[in-house]
Amino acid sequence: MLKQVQHDGNGMTAGLAMRPATRDDLPGIVALLWDDETARHREDPSEPLDPRYVTAFEAIDADPNQILVAAERDGRLVGTMQLSFLPGLSFRGSWRGLIEAVRIAGDLRGQRLGEAMILWAIEQCRARDCKLVQLTSTATRTAAHRFYARLGFVQSHVGMKLHLRD
């Protein structure tokens, strides 16, 4: 399922490819998750990785309604996200896509790689006949909110979380 993202004529994403992550990508993905001001307190990229990361990866990898995405450019892991396909009764039994944990390597931010990844994810949801695509973003990430709004997402709900453990 290696898919090249096409160049748009403006230099947007030449050479970016999205594929399902492998077990070998896990240290790099955890490092991308950690390289974020809101996640440094909850992620640990030190090796050996916490076995819970491996357990989670195996569960995601085994589920046909989940894709842990590895975004590569020139053979380098430069981004990740998790794409989930959720069945539901609302909207007359429609499926929805859920985009989570979007990250781009710190030294490559601002090069529209995140845009290419999100547009690719939207196309995956269309291909699976999803009615809608949704995502959440931490309330303090106003730049991310502007980014998602520019791509057509609207703030339609208030999200809430209840943490059950550390």
Residue 10: the pLDDT is 40
pLDDT of residue 13: 52
Query: Mean pLDDT by 10-residue block, N- to C-terminus, for the chain (166 residues)?
Result: 46 73 98 88 91 98 98 96 97 96 94 95 97 93 92 91 87
Backbone φ and ψ of 130, nearest 5°: -75, 145
Residues 54 and 44: their CA atoms lie apart, in Å, by 13
Q: What was the pLDDT predicted at 2?
A: 45
Query: Whole-structure pTM over 0.75, yes or no?
Result: yes
Domains in the chain: boundaries: 3-150
Tokens representing residue 69 in the block:
């995405």
Number of other CB atoms surrounding residue 137 within 10 Å? 19
Cα within 13 Å of Cα(56), Cβ side? 11
The DSSP H or E segment spanning 10 is none
CATH class of 3-150: alpha beta
**CA angle in degrees (0–180, nearest 5) for 75-9-102:** 50
d(CA 2, CA 19): 5
